[in-house]
Structure 1
């Protein structure tokens, strides 16, 4: 959905095709981690929820659009962002959803409005540390919230399918790339990273073997100070080496 800062809502619905590419949009699955669960940032319009998204301006690339949308929605600069897939079923449009809500903005619903046409979505996913984000709603959104990926609420169109595909893709990607640190604070412990991987993969991992595998990559820098929040033996904290960040 569009993030409108300065454009009048009525003008957007009637003349948005003069600023945005018709039939093409971008949706981003923003994944966070809290309470040992994967979370997904959603926005609510009416009774259902949807992914943060927007349309692609005539003068920007699809990658620039996805990055802009993500920054506008989370407040993060240079956030992690990875292409997911294209969603473009022949019947993919939001005409009925818009018909229900346009009257709230004093806009007459017309079948031939550009916003009612079929839209193909270029979907991305992003891993974020939730405390670093500052989610906001746009003029069309009524609320935002973080939801467990295992317990998603009723969602618009195919947005649930997009979110679940992102989770599946994340499980595949972490077997090849070290990206999960984006879900944690800048400084973290190996037990925290180990638990995160268990949650993502939904299976138990041998802690000692996992730590050896992680340290063998050379991507982690051990910090000199020990974590003092727990009794007994305190694990070392680590961070990603600056020249190794993904």
Structure 2
């Protein structure tokens, strides 16, 4: 009974305060133990997963709504956020038919009228530090957790396509902008940074060329301390210069090959 009342309240709120037929979906990337991960939601009473997302309030800018939804799912407010595509196919039920999808969702008729109509979705990808995230499900989800990029299950709607395109866009970003400030801890080693790039690109990089290139961009500060708990000649720790990093993002002049 409590669930039904809350659902009725939510539907009324959506009809009154949110834009109809326009939504956003979020591909939230994190990096942990050498693996690139994506944050997914599992619908209540099902074993089916999808990307987090939401609708846009009448008084909100689109980007403001995306940041709000990210904050609700991760607990973080300062994130790298990039719009990467608008998904507007007439049929957006890819892995499962419309009928199969609606059956899986298990929503009552009044909810299906609101959620089963055609939506145009704006896709965003975000880069977050894994350790700082508190995965938080929304009203319709029973679970919110990380999945390895190589182990993503069949998702509802066209969300597998969204992840594939977001990853392609992220890889292209490496050709003109730095990556790492939002994915690595404050202090990291050069091997840590190289592992991140190799994981995103899906291919090895030459160690000397990579280090020379990264140092040449002027966005890294080498600290007077080394990584503890390793070999005798443990690697130095680095951190990003936030000011120089943000300038590099704005200038779009970097290239890693």
Kindly report which structure 2 residues correspond to 1:169-208, keeping only aligned pairs within 5 A, or say none: 169-208=169-208
Higher mean alpha-carbon deviation, 222-231 vs 72-81, is at 222-231
Q: Counterparts of 2:56 and 2:202 in 1: how far apart (Å)?
A: 36
Partners of 2:81 and 2:154 in 1: CA distance? 25
Q: Name the structure 2 match of 1:161.
A: 161
- 1:222 and 1:11 map into 2 onto residues whose CA distance is 53
Count of matched residue positions in the alignment of Structure 1 and Structure 2: 236
Task: State the alpha-carbon separation in 2 of the partners of residues 57 and 25 from structure 1.
Answer: 10
CA distance in structure 1 between the aligned counterparts of 2:197 and 2:179, rounded to whole angstroms? 11
Distance in 1 between residues matched to 2:55 and 2:84, nearest whole Å: 17
Query: 2:213 aligns to what?
Result: 213
Following superposition, the deviation at residue 204 of structure 1 comes to 1.5
1:109-132 superposed Cα distances (whole Å, 9 cap, x missing partner): 476x23221001100001111111
Distance 2:103 2:47 in 1: 14
Asked if the contact 1:83/1:125 (under 8 Å) is kept, the reply is yes
Matched with 1:57 is 57
Residues 1:15 and 1:195: Cα distance change in structure 2 (over 3 Å): closer
Tell me how far apart the structure 2 counterparts of residues 206 and 130 of structure 1 sit (CA, whole Å).
Answer: 26
CA distance 1:23–1:197, shift in 2 (3 Å): same
Q: Whole-Å Cα distance in 2 between the matches of residues 139 and 110 of structure 1?
A: 13
Q: Which runs of 4+ in 1 moved over 4 A?
A: 93-96
- Structure 2-normalised TM-score? 0.86
3-state DSSP of counterpart to 2:80: coil
Q: CA deviation at 1:100?
A: 4.6
Unpaired segments ≥5 residues, structure 2: 247-257
Q: Which deviations, in whole Å up to 9, do the C-alpha atoms of 1:32-64 show, x marking residues without a partner?
A: 112212111000012211111010011101100
What per-residue deviation string (whole Å, max 9, x for no partner) do you get for residues 192-226 of structure 1? 10111111111111101100100000001111122
Query: Structure 1 unaligned runs (5+)?
Result: 1-6
2:42 to 33, 41, 44: 44
Structure 1 segment 1-246 matched on structure 2, within 5 A: 8-14=6-12, 16-45=14-43, 46-92=46-92, 96=99, 97-98=101-102, 100-103=104-107, 107-109=108-110, 113-246=113-246
- Compute the TM-score of the two structures, normalised by the length of structure 1: 0.89
d(CA) in 1 for partners of 2:27, 2:42: 14
C-alpha displacement of 1:153: 1.0
* TM-fit CA distance, 1:180: 2.5
Aligned residues of 2:11 and 2:111 also touching (Cα < 8 A): no
CA offset digits 1:11-34 (Å, max 9, x no partner)? 223552211100000111001112
Cα pair 1:39 1:149 within 8 Å, conserved:
yes
